[in-house]
Structure 1
Amino acid sequence: MFRRRALALVTTAVLTATAAGCSTEDPPAAPTEAAPPPTSAAAPTPQVSPTTAPTRSHAVGVRRLDLSRGEDRPLPTTVWYPARGERGGEPERGAPVARGRFPVVVFSHGLGGRSDDYSGLVSRWAEAGFVVAAPTFPRTSSDGDGNVLDVLNQPADVSYVLDEVLALDDTDGDPLRGRLDTGRVAAAGHSAGGVTTIGLFTTRRDDRLDAGVVFAGTAIGFGTAFAGSAAPQLFVHGELDDVVKYTAGKAVYDKVPWPKAMLSLPEGDHGRRLLSNDATLGVVSGTTVEFLRWSLYGDPAARERMTDGATRDGLATFDDQL
């Protein structure tokens, strides 16, 4: 997870390396090409054509991909996926893949974390009919050297992982062959992973992405020049976050030019009470599942459930601009 001193460290490192300043208005030091301007705000519909969303929950399978983007960038990736069998149990390693074609979500962990730290959240996405690929980054994970500046390299890591995962849909003998809906893709991430995710929609735009989910993220290092085709965004932030301040996340959210929503948890902190507490995890996972069903399956009923579930039990407020 993104530890207490991490934000200050990231800020210092990015300021030193890019002279970008701490404003969320400006992108980092110029990339090789200027980012294209964002398109105008989209109509209040998802950007994918509707398809049949799952009508029941799935069991969950899990596997590991030993990926590497060069000798010094190992990216071991955990994949959770809808599986055959009885739902409700722990993810089963190597379980047979369920029938159907499933959208793909790539998830980025926080500083000092690992992909498996988020199993409680992403396994719920897999239950709902999504394949979730979560790399463990080489330098910002619990096994890395803590070089926070390496966050700036992580959008390229995510795009590489996405290349490799989507290719499995056409790989002879792979269990996911014919099971991936490669035209329906989202990115999500927590804290430093939220920074990474913002980068994927700004100066390091990956045009394959149809939607994004940002948990406790800010725009340090990448700015708010959202680029490319409109992609709905969901921001999730605890109002008691003392690592990435709520106002910092809200400032980025306000700059998103596309359909968007923000789930705010008045008692939520940066990690434990945002993603681990049973009550808030229920609201967070439920809202994100419905957002992904709406934005990747084009499920209109999910749109209504999202709004209703977000404010359940008074644990959160929901700014809905979708």
Structure 2
Amino acid sequence: MSSRPSARRIVSVKPIPVPAPGRGVDLQVKVTAPWSGQKLPVIVFSHGNAWSLDGYAPLVDRWAAAGFVVVQPTHLDARRNAIGWDDPRFATIWRVRIADLHAVLDHLGDILAQAGLDTRVDRDRIAVVGHSWGAQTAGAVLGARVLDADGVPGEDFSHPAVSAGVLIAATGTGDTLTPFAAENLPFMRPDFSTMATPALVVAGGRDQSQLSTRGPEWFTDAYHLSPAPKSLLTIGEAEHTMGGIAGESVAETTDEDPARVAFLADAISAYLRAALGFDDAPWTALGSTAEDGDSTWRIAGK
């Protein structure tokens, strides 16, 4: 897949307000879409910790150029909201994040109308995608649950409008959390056994989390511990930001690689086009390329 950006024109509209009573801070989204086209599929994207609707342009712009409408909410943990670890609201932000995605999905028609897209979207083809904490948030909408201190699964947060998803660097099981994570992030105890919605799990071969005592394989739990159908894309040289998916030259990126970011964006587009019933040829071709022995990435499926 080419690392050159598509020449297809895209447009973004922000901020668009979304009703979210009791949230304390207004919920706003950004919508990015192709300039032209009909029956466009939708991606609702959940950002990683501290980011906002203004991040992840290297992914979002490429998805829009590939024909997707991308809706990005700003979650409460965005830096602009200044809610730190010691803020009493932090303990429940994981729930608010999930509620944010539900609010976007429940008010999608109004959001699209405000962006001038309500007649151009296929509302039967909706996916959720998330990175890092956003991947856990998206996973809950796909059917994953959170275990309590006694190991009992919590409530079902799945949403019926979602047909597929992609989890990039998703939190693994919570039995190997570091002491800091166990104390401050107790919600990082996902149960993937109920995550039945079709999904692609993306993991970096060099993604060593400071929140777990395990290695990079921690980020493959969402694939191994969830029911089929699932796919796993492992990018051997990628670290947690996969080469810079949150933006160009951002502080968190330690493995800057624009070509890797472009590859990941295109691979996700190919997977979602197949999972949403458009065209499985690009995803099939990608799998065939992996089978031919490319050493930088591999695909598994079940």
Q: 1:151 aligns with which of 90, 94, 118?
A: 94
How many pairs does the alignment contain? 247
Q: What pairs up with 1:128-207 in 2 under 5 angstroms?
A: 128-138=66-76, 140-144=77-81, 145-147=83-85, 148-149=90-91, 150-168=93-111, 171=113, 175-201=116-142, 202=144, 203-207=156-160
Q: Does 1:67 align with 2:13?
A: no
Alpha-carbon distance in 2 for matches of 1:168, 1:224: 30
Aligned to 2:8: 58
Please say if 1:109 is aligned against 2:77.
Answer: no
Does residue 241 (structure 1) correspond to residue 214 (structure 2)? The answer is no
The change in CA–CA distance for 1:253 and 1:118 in structure 2 (over 3 A counts) is same
Do 2:47 and 2:134's aligned partners in 1 also have CA atoms closer than 8 Å?
A: yes
Q: Distance in 1 between matches of 2:108 and 2:265?
A: 23
Q: Find the residue that maps to 2:54 and give its secondary structure.
A: helix
Residue 281 (structure 2) aligns with: 301
- In 2, the alpha carbon distance for the partners of 1:104 and 1:242 equals 31
CA contact 2:58–2:262 (8 Å) conserved in 1: no
Number of the residue aligned with 1:223: 191
5+ residue gaps in structure 1?
1-55, 84-97
Deviations 1:224-274 (A, max 9, x none): 1325xx522111111211226522221221112121111112211111526
1:162-221 CA-partner distances (Å, limit 9, x unpaired) = 22223455x5x8611211111111000000101101111223111211111001111524
Where 1:153 maps in the other structure, the secondary structure is: helix
Q: Does 1:285 pair with 2:265?
A: yes
Q: What percent of counterpart residues are identical? A: 27
How big is the shift at 1:157? 0.9
Residue 16 of structure 1 is matched in structure 2 by none
Tell me what 2:229 maps to: 259
Indicate if the aligned counterparts of 1:291 and 1:303 stay in contact, CA closer than 8 A. Answer: yes
Pick closer, same or farther for the CA change 1:62–1:208 going to 2, 3 Å. Answer: same
Structure-1 separation of matches of 2:189 and 2:26:
23
Counterpart among 67, 77, 81 of residue 33 in structure 2: 81
Do the aligned partners of 2:29 and 2:74 also contact (CA within 8 Å) in 1? yes
* CA deviation map 1:102-134 (0-9, x unaligned): 111100001111232201101111111110001
Whose relative contact order is higher, 1 or 2, with alpha carbons under 8 Å and at least 6 apart? Answer: 1
Secondary structure of 1:78's counterpart equals: strand
Aligned with residue 295 of structure 2, among 314, 318, 321: 314
Conservation of the 8 A alpha-carbon contact between 1:107 and 1:134: yes
How far apart are 1:313 and its partner, in Å? 5.6
> Please, what TM-score do these two structures have when normalized by structure 2?
0.74
Q: Which residue does the alignment assign to 1:35?
A: none
RMSD in angstroms over aligned alpha carbons? 2.4
Aligned to 2:157, what secondary structure does the other structure show?
coil
Q: Distance in 2 between matches of 1:78 and 1:241?
A: 29
Residue 298 of structure 1 and its aligned partner are, at CA, apart by 3.0
TM-score, normalising length: structure 1 = 0.70
SS of match in other structure, 1:247: helix
The answer on whether the counterparts of 2:164 and 2:199 sit within 8 Å (CA) in structure 1 is yes
1:29-48 correspondence to structure 2 within 5 Å? none
In 2, Cα distance between equivalents of 1:246 and 1:287 = 20
In 2: Cα distance, 1:278 partner to 1:310 partner: 20
Residue 302 of structure 1 aligns with an amino acid whose one-letter code is P
Verify the 8 A CA contact 2:242 2:261 in the aligned structure 1. Answer: no
Given that residues 284 and 310 in structure 1 are in contact (C-alpha distance below 8 angstroms), is that contact kept between their aligned partners in structure 2?
Answer: no
